Amino acid sequence: MTTFDDRERGFEKKFALDQEQEFKAAARRNRALGRWAAGLMGLEGKHIDDYAQAVVKSDLELPGDDDVLRKVFEDLKGSGVAVTEGDVRMKMAELMAQAREEAKAGK
């Protein structure tokens, strides 16, 4: 084994770990976004968690965040909540930063 091979394996492991942390952070962000949106829509009790789970699942439809944005924005709009797509994007960015910090802290 050469030093180059060791470095390559190290980079591959770091990349895999980074991808796993990003996936977990996105799921955490989506759950928090779902709870936020559920509150705006007036959902209560078990319906909050059910909606948050539906938001998490919506992220598995397409690569990227557009599927989550579309779901939450359309659901809010359909519930009569006065919110813009920009508002939802800003909340997503805020919650993603928070989720990344929590993932780094091991929470």
Print pLDDT tens along the chain (107 aa): 677 677 777 777 776 776 778 888 999 999 999 999 999 999 999 999 999 999 999 988 777 889 999 999 999 999 999 999 999 999 999 999 999 998 878 76
Count CA atoms within 13 Å of residue 76 on its CB side. Answer: 23
Count CA atoms within 13 Å of residue 106 on its CB side. Answer: 0
Question: What is the domain range of residue 28?
Answer: 3-104
Q: pTM for the full model?
A: 0.83
* Predicted local confidence at residue 7, as pLDDT: 73
Measure the CA angle with vertex 15, ends 12 and 20; round to 5°: 125
Of 22, 105, 94, the C-alpha closest to 59 is 22
CB neighbour list of residue 58: distance below 8 Å, 6 or more residues apart: 30, 67, 68, 71
* Predicted local confidence at residue 12, as pLDDT: 77
- Number of separate domains in the chain: 1
Domain holding 95: CATH number?
1.10.790.20
Q: How far apart are CA 23 and CA 51, in angstroms?
A: 19
